[in-house]
Chains A and B, each alone.
Chain A
Amino acid sequence: MIRKLVAAVALSAIGTISLADGHGGVKVGMITTLSGGGAGLGIDVRDGFMLAIAQSGNENIEVIIEDDQRKPDVAVQLADKLIQSEKVDVLTGIIWSNLAMAVVPGAVAQDKFYLSPNAGPSALAGRGCHPNYFNVAWQNDNLHEAAGAYANTAGYSNSFILAPNYPAGQDALTGYKRLYEGELAGELFTELGQTDYASEIAQIRASGADSVFFFLPGGMGISFLKQYADSGVDIPVVGPAFSFDQGILQAVGDAAVGVVNTSQWNKDLDNPANVAFVESFQAEYGRLPSLYASQGFDTANLLLSAMETADINDQDAFRAALQAANFQSTRGDFAFGPNNHPIQNIYVREVIKEGDIYTNKIIGTALESHGDAYAAECSF
């Protein structure tokens, strides 16, 4: 009953930004998480995306924004609605890998383009790849591979690793182990959305590990870090940027300072596109952008760049234009690999306190021009 109700609520559009739908116009359906636990991520992606659209002044693009509430069934219904009744050309916006797995294969099979601003499950990068599916953020394993590479250089040889039990969590631990050369003191899967980590922390304490790697995005990371800091365990922590992004650092506070994390983007990356992005995002929304915002921004700019050289109705030309990635990324150098996933640098960042604001600064590069491990399995 509740399920039906939720679906009914979700079906009413959250917001529609309507512009001209003329010749060569592109209609974009954005399905993202705007309410409930993971809303901060979706809001950042949406805000970054819409900022790029607004800055382009391009009036041939119409964006329909829907809220998936982090529920796969809701996302699937929204996708059906956007494809069948709204007749969108491009879908984008999904944050969570389990939702992406539910929506993307169906959407690309109906000849729609899907541009992922976040989720990059391994199943869609390897054998399940599709020429119409482009990931503008990363393949899920990437930041974790970088964390594993960093652990080697930091001299860690006995890591305790944990992640939630869902596709991106499994990719995370696989990714960390791919480049990490040491031993594992323990390996744990937590529940998605879990809020209490006392039991995991007790196991970390008892394990004799010399480092902890964790992937707990959003609120899960806040809970874990607060409880870890209070537990008195002082084993150094490494993680991907998701638990240390701008949106949640303020809620973690001092417990995060000094923690090393890996990211493909940071606000202090020195390239003109990024400097302009950080400044304009702050001016527009009154807060610092997160990596999710940068991904949304890059996704929109990729789409805009393709619209400049190709007509969406000529799918082959449009696909080639997307594949060329001829846009100024906030990450600097950006290119697509053979499976339409990024080839990019991944940096090591450290959490610092800047005045009253907790944020990150780049302290090194973990991996240069890094692709993903699944590209070889993909053949279009």
Chain B
Amino acid sequence: MSLILLAEQVLNGLQLGVMLFLMAAGLTLVFGVMGLINLAHGSLFMVGAFAAAAVAGATGSFLLALAAALAAAAAAGALVELLIIRRLYDRDHLDQVLATFALILIFSEGTRWVFGSFPLYLSIPEYLSGPITLPGGIQYPLYRLTLIAVGLLIAVGLFLLISRTRLGIQIRAGENDREMIAALGVDISKLYTIVFALGAALAGLAGALVGAIQSVQVGMGEPVLILAFVVIVIGGIGSIKGALIGSILVGLTDTLAGVLLPLLFSQFMSTSAAASTGSALASMLIYILMAVVLIMKPTGLFGARA
């Protein structure tokens, strides 16, 4: 395999990783701060994509579509938090799983009710379409490069938000001791709503950004959600840094294994058998990675507590 191909695959892995980070960041914050398992996070990803597709279809502007995705997902997140999630903080994780699973079904059928069962059209804007040539002669789609840049910028922004702002202090304090910061006079319920809406907005943004190169359809969030859970388990629950490292690890593992394993197997098998076995093993590899991390560090790479 040529170096150019390998470099391109590393970029692909990176791009998958930063998009996973947008999903995982919200999930890990919500879990870390509120102790809530939110299975409906993937639905917010879908809400973002559908809002973007609808606005892009009506106005033709991709930037407006992204803004709409952010706004719609944040609003949906805040609404869900106020109406339903709020009642779940003191409950058992099993109750949370049950209720947020119900939310998945409600969001999916609601979206189908509004938009129908057929995939929607959302496309890359003209100014970001097509490939560009990188140093070394790598042809790489401009849009995917933009995704990497946007994802990394948001990672930096989130890091600053958590480490440098008053809200960030409250979030970190909330992760350490919920009762104590409530006792100190922080309006904990408002903080929860803000954190939940922030996580939802990031998921919605990811949905819109990814929706432009994928299929905007009902149920699009669930496969990403599973990966995002793997990411936060690897990275350590509640840690933004862990989510970033975990995302990139999962992104690179998933992409590179899909390319390299079939190649490896083709050394001693027929091409068809190698393609089939290699791709089957590649899709298992991130879970194997998760298992190995959990054996070595049961709280995840950057997890503070079990």
A residues lining the B interface (CB < 8 Å):
1-2, 5, 9, 34-37, 39-40, 43, 165, 170, 173, 184, 187-191, 193, 195-196, 198-199, 202-203, 205-206, 218-220, 222-223, 226-227, 230-232, 247-248, 250-253
CB distance from B185 to the nearest CB of A (A): 39
Question: From A232, which residue of chain B is reached at the shortest CB distance?
Answer: B131
Closest 10 pairs (CB-CB, A-B): A232-B131, A219-B215, A222-B215, A251-B119, A198-B12, A189-B279, A223-B214, A36-B219, A202-B8, A206-B5
Is B299 interfacial (CB-CB < 8 Å)?
no
Given A36-B219, A195-B220; A43-B117 close (CB under 8 Å): yes
Contact of A187 among B118, B121, B124, B275 (CB under 8 A): B275
Contact yes or no, A195 B214, CB < 8 A: yes
Q: Shortest CB–CB separation between residue A319 and chain B, in angstroms?
A: 35
Q: Which residues of B contact A43 (CB under 8 A)?
A: 117
B94 at the interface (CB under 8 A from A): yes
CA–CA, A222 and B213, complex, Å: 9
Question: Which residues of chain B have C-beta atoms less than 8 A from A248's C-beta?
Answer: 118-119, 215
* Cβ–Cβ contact B271 & A184, under 8 A: yes
Residues 68-114 (chain B) with a chain A CB within 8 angstroms: 94, 97-98, 101, 105, 108-109, 112
B132 to chain A, nearest CB (A): 9
Given A191-B279, A199-B9, A223-B213, A230 contacting B219 (CB threshold 8 A) = no
What's the least CB distance linking B293 to chain A, in Å?
A: 22
Q: In the assembly, what is the distance between CA of A303 and CA of B184, in Å?
A: 73
Q: Which of B117, B118, B121, B223 contacts A195 (CB 8 A)?
A: B223
**What distance in Å separates the Cβ of A288 from its nearest Cβ neighbour in chain B?**
11
On whether the beta carbons of B259 and A5 are closer than 8 Å, the reply is no
Q: A35-B109, A206-B5, A230-B129 are in contact. Are A173 and B119 (CB under 8 A)?
A: no
Q: Does residue B2 face the partner (Cβ distance < 8 Å to A)?
A: yes
Could you tell me the distance in whole angstroms from the C-beta of A234 to the nearest C-beta in chain B?
11
How far is it, in angstroms, between the C-alpha of A232 and the C-alpha of B143 when the chains are bound? Answer: 12
In the complex, chain B residues whose CB is within 8 Å of the CB of A37: 217-220
The chain B residue with its CB closest to the CB of A36 is B219
Q: Is B255 an interface residue (CB 8 A)?
A: yes
Do the beta carbons of B259 and A226 come within 8 Å of each other? no
Q: State the Cβ distance, B276 to closest chain A Cβ, in Å.
A: 5
Q: List residues of chain B with CB under 8 Å of any chain A CB.
A: 1-2, 4-5, 8-9, 12, 15-16, 94, 97-98, 101, 105, 108-109, 112, 117-121, 123-124, 129-131, 139, 141, 143-144, 210, 212-220, 223, 255, 258-259, 262, 271-272, 275-276, 278-280, 283
Interchain CB contact (< 8 A) of B121 among A2, A206, A232, A250: A250
Contact A39/B139 with A202-B8, A202-B12, A248-B119 known, Cβ cut-off 8 Å: no
* Cα separation A198 to B9 with both chains bound (whole Å): 8
Residues of A within 8 A of B210 (CB): 195
Q: Which residue of A lies closest to B274 (CB)?
A: A187
User: Does B218 contact A5, Cβ atoms closer than 8 Å?
Assistant: no
Are B275 and A188 closer than 8 Å at their CB atoms? Answer: yes
- Cα A187 to Cα B98 with chains together (Å): 42
**Can you list 21 A-B pairs, Cβ within 8 angstroms, ordered by A?**
A1-B94, A5-B98, A35-B108, A35-B112, A37-B219, A188-B262, A191-B279, A196-B16, A202-B9, A202-B12, A206-B2, A219-B119, A226-B212, A230-B129, A232-B131, A232-B139, A247-B118, A247-B119, A251-B121, A252-B121, A253-B121
Is B276's CB under 8 angstroms from A165's CB? yes
Q: How far is the CA of A202 from the CA of B223 in the complex (A)?
A: 23
Residue among B4, B124, B141 with the highest chain A CB neighbour number at 10 A:
B141
Bound form: Cα–Cα A193–B225 in Å: 14
Contact of B141 (CB < 8 Å), options: A9, A34, A232, A251: A232
Chain A residues near B258: list those with CB within 8 A: 199
- Of all chain B residues, the one with the shortest Cβ separation from A202 is B8
Task: Give the complex CA separation of A247 and B1 in angstroms.
Answer: 38
Chain B residues with CB under 8 A of A206: 1-2, 4-5
Specify the chain B residue showing the minimal Cβ separation from A35.
Answer: B108
* Bound form: Cα–Cα A187–B255 in Å: 17
Enumerate chain B residues within 8 angstroms of A205, measured Cβ to Cβ.
Answer: 8, 139
Instruction: Give Cα A230 to B280, complex, Å.
Output: 27
Selected contact of B123 from candidates A2, A195, A218, A226, CB within 8 Å = A226
When the two chains form their complex, are residues A173 and B272 in contact, meaning their CB atoms are under 8 A apart? yes
CA distance A34 to B218 in the complex (A): 11
Q: When the two chains form their complex, are residues A251 and B255 in contact, meaning their CB atoms are under 8 A apart?
A: no
- Which residues on the B side are within 8 Å of A173 (C-beta)? 272
* Cβ-defined partner of A230 (8 Å) among B4, B15, B121, B143: B143
Q: Within the assembled complex, what's the spacing in Å between the Cα atoms of A198 and B117?
A: 26
Q: Which residues of B contact A232 (CB under 8 A)?
A: 130-131, 139, 141
Contact B120 A1 (CB under 8 A): no
Residues of B within 8 A of A190 (CB): 279
Verify A202–B5 contact, CB threshold 8 A.
Answer: yes
By beta carbon, the residue of chain A nearest B144 is: A198
B149 to chain A, nearest CB (A): 16
In the bound complex, what is the Cα–Cα distance between A164 and B144 (angstroms)?
23
The residue of chain A having its C-beta at the shortest distance from the C-beta of B7 within the complex is A202
Alpha-carbon distance between A203 and B86 when the two chains are bound, in angstroms: 48
Q: In the bound complex, what is the Cα–Cα distance between A180 and B20 (angstroms)?
A: 39
A328 to B166 CA separation, bound complex (whole angstroms): 73
Beta-carbon contact of B218 and A39 below 8 Å:
yes
A187 engages B117 (CB within 8 Å): no
Knowing that A37-B218, A40-B119 touch, tell me 10 more A-B residue pairs with CB under 8 angstroms. Answer: A5-B98, A35-B108, A35-B112, A189-B276, A195-B215, A219-B217, A219-B220, A227-B141, A230-B143, A248-B215
